[in-house]
Amino acid sequence: MKKIISIILAAVLFTALTACGSSAQAGTTSTQAVTEAQKAAAESTTAAKTETAAAETTQKAEPESTTAAPAAHSDVLVAFFSATGTTKGVAERIASVTGGDLYEILAAEPYTSADLNYNDRNSRSTKEQNNKSVRPAIGSKELSLEGYTTIYLGFPIWWGEEPRILDTFVEKYSFEGITVIPFCTSGGSGIGRSGPNMEALAGSGTWKEGKRFSGNVSEAELKSWTEGLGK
């Protein structure tokens, strides 16, 4: 009987030890799995931090702002102010026959039809032309005259002279080393003293005598004029 009991106890003890071993092994496996997961997460976080640091370093290495290299341009500029589009058409044809660049002098406050009513003594343009000290603001982008040797400067004739916004333009820039050639459009009035007026205000540049054109002047006429300026 004692032998049987001993055998049973031995069996029970063996079973218990086996169960404990399995449990310990399972616990060890579980712990290893958690440890490996934590290690993988830590490695992932480290990699992310490394990538972020690299990106920040790259950003710091780049300049805060970049300026595009200036595009190559002609040495001839055709700058013009055109309230109704007539002078613009002539300016485009001059640019075509000279290979020049175009620059439109835009008013910061555009002129309306009412502003241009020369029969109204109280219209904006009438008041401006009657006051030689008025300087309407220019709304077009800043202009660099670097590299230009010749400028054709176009405008409509208002009350026998250049519009006051042309005075704003010539006072704003230096024309040192540049030949300036005024041209105007009108229904019949000549260019008058517009050229000398602007030359005095500019105080720099070599100014040629200007010329008046009708709005429908041909490219052939303009080409003949521009080519004859150097003679």
> Domain check: are 42 and 114 in the same one?
no
Candidate from 43-57, 71-85, 86-100, 155-169 with smallest mean pLDDT = 43-57
Same domain for 221 and 115: yes
Is there a domain that residue 150 lies in?
A: yes
Same domain, 28 and 84: no
* Same-domain pairing of 139 and 206: yes
In terms of domains, do 109 and 158 share one? yes
Whether 192 shows a pLDDT value over 60: the answer reads: yes
- Pairing verdict, β 150-156 and 179-185: parallel
> What are the DSSP calls for 146-214, one per residue?
TT-SEEEEEEE-BTTB--HHHHHHHHHS--TT-EEEEEEE-SS---TTHHHHHHHHH--SEEPP-EEE-
**Confidence class for position 188, pLDDT limits 50, 70, 90:** confident
CATH number, position 163? 3.40.50.360
Higher pLDDT among residues 94 and 64, named by residue: 94
Are residues 44 and 119 located together in one domain of the fold?
Answer: no
Indicate the average pLDDT of the chain.
80
The answer as to whether 173 is a domain residue is yes
Residue 71 lies in a domain: no
According to the model, what pLDDT value does residue 231 have? 54
Closest CA to 227 of 92, 75, 97: 97
Which tens digit of pLDDT belongs to each residue from 6-62?
444 444 444 443 444 444 444 444 445 444 545 544 454 444 444 444 444 433 333
Q: pLDDT at residue 167 above 60?
A: yes
Domain assignment present for residue 70? The answer is no
pLDDT at residue 5 is higher than 80: no
Alpha carbon distances (Å) from 147 to 75, 205, 216: 6, 14, 31
Same domain, 40 and 114: no
Chain-centroid distance of CA 167 in Å reads 25
Predicted model pTM:
0.69
CA distances (Å), origin 201, targets 35, 50, 206:
83, 62, 13
Q: Check pLDDT > 60 for residue 179.
A: yes
Same domain, 191 and 120: yes
Alpha-carbon distances, residue 16 vs 6, 7, 26 (angstroms): 15, 14, 15
Percentage of the chain modeled with pLDDT above 90: 66
pLDDT tens-digit series, residues 99-143: 999 999 999 999 999 999 999 999 999 999 999 999 999 999 999
Q: How far does the chain reach from its first CA to its final CA, in angstroms?
A: 142
Say if residue 92 is exposed, middle or buried (CB neighbours under 10 Å; 0-12, 13-18, 19+): middle
Residue that finishes a domain, picked among 39, 64, 89 = 64
Predicted pLDDT at 176:
98
Same domain for 201 and 135?
yes
The verdict on 46 and 95 lying in the same domain is no
* Same domain membership, residue 205 and residue 141: yes
Q: Is residue 132 part of a domain?
A: yes
Structural domain count of the chain: 2
Range of the domain at 187: 76-228
Same domain? For 87 and 47 the reply is no
